């Protein structure tokens, strides 16, 4: 048998191991790249998200991103808030406001519906349509609830306040019961209009909602 034939099995085994090593290294590099990818969290909302009346960098998405970064999350919080938006307005712009590469979603809508006295059943149907879109995209979602002002009467209050827990249950999404928890009604944490949080109020909102958002991001695809 020639020397060439004697060495052929050894050469084949060597190259096979070399190819396997290259494939394994490429897989590790790909996994490392995926793990290092910045997550995109979209906050779809109204003026409470947009940062009405606040200095640059002090809106809810900005401060939430900073808080998440301090917790070790590599995440970009996209400000998809538009002042004055109702739930219907949010639904109308959903397809361009929530990009296909989004990893998670916060829905903060309904306050303007309530302030305008819109029928709770209409608001509920619109928010349901938003959640259905998110579900179709397999997008982990946190629904931020709102509460009706007491001057609208007990019947309206009951119907409106039930919107958020009902939808969270129906669409199997996480619920943060009241976006303005700890801030609503406190003059020290609100702007002079009594409706929009000031910079200090935003910090309270962020700290209170933070655990829920951390849980949301853990559901996001890698």
CA 131-172-220 angle, to 5 degrees, is 75
Place of tokens 């394994």: 24
Distance (Å, whole) CA 190 – CA 199: 8
Q: 3-state DSSP: the chain helix, strand, coil percent, rounded to 5?
A: 55, 15, 30
172 in catalytic set: no
196 in catalytic set: yes
193 in catalytic set: yes
Distance (Å, whole) CA 127 – CA 59: 23
Q: With contact defined as beta carbons under 8 Å apart, do 126 and 118 qualify?
A: no
> Which entry of 47, 85, 103, 161 is annotated as an active-site residue?
47
**37 DSSP 8-state letter:** P
Distance (Å, whole) CA 9 – CA 1: 13
Which residue, 95, 40, 87, is CA-closest to 216? 40
Q: With contact defined as beta carbons under 8 Å apart, do 208 and 182 qualify?
A: yes
Question: From residue 212, how far is each of 53, 125, 140, 174 by CA, in Å?
Answer: 26, 24, 12, 8
Residues acting as catalytic residues:
47, 193, 196
């Amino acid at each position: 048998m020639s020397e060439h034939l004697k060495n052929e099995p050894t050469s084949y085994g060597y190259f096979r191991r070399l190819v396997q090593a290259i494939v394994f290294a490429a897989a590790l590099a790909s996994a490392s790249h995926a793990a290092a990818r910045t997550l995109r969290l979209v906050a779809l909302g109204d003026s409470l998200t947009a940062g009405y009346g606040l200095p640059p960098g002090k809106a809810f998405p900005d401060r939430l991103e900073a808080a998440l970064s301090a917790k070790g999350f590599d995440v970009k919080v996209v400000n998809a808030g538009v002042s004055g938006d109702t739930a219907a307005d949010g639904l109308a712009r959903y397809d361009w406001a929530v990009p296909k590469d989004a990893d998670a979603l916060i829905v903060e809508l309904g306050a303007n519906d309530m302030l305008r006295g819109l029928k709770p059943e209409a608001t509920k149907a619109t928010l349901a349509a938003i959640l259905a879109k998110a579900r179709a995209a397999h997008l982990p979602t946190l629904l931020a609830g709102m509460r009706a002002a007491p001057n609208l009467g007990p019947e309206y209050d009951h119907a409106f306040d039930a919107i958020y827990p009902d939808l969270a249950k129906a669409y199997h999404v996480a619920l943060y019961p009241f976006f303005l928890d700890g801030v609503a009604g406190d003059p020290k944490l609100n702007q002079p209009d009594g409706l929009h949080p000031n910079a200090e109020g935003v910090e309270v909102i962020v700290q209170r909602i933070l655990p829920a958002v951390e849980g949301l991001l853990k559901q996001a695809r890698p």
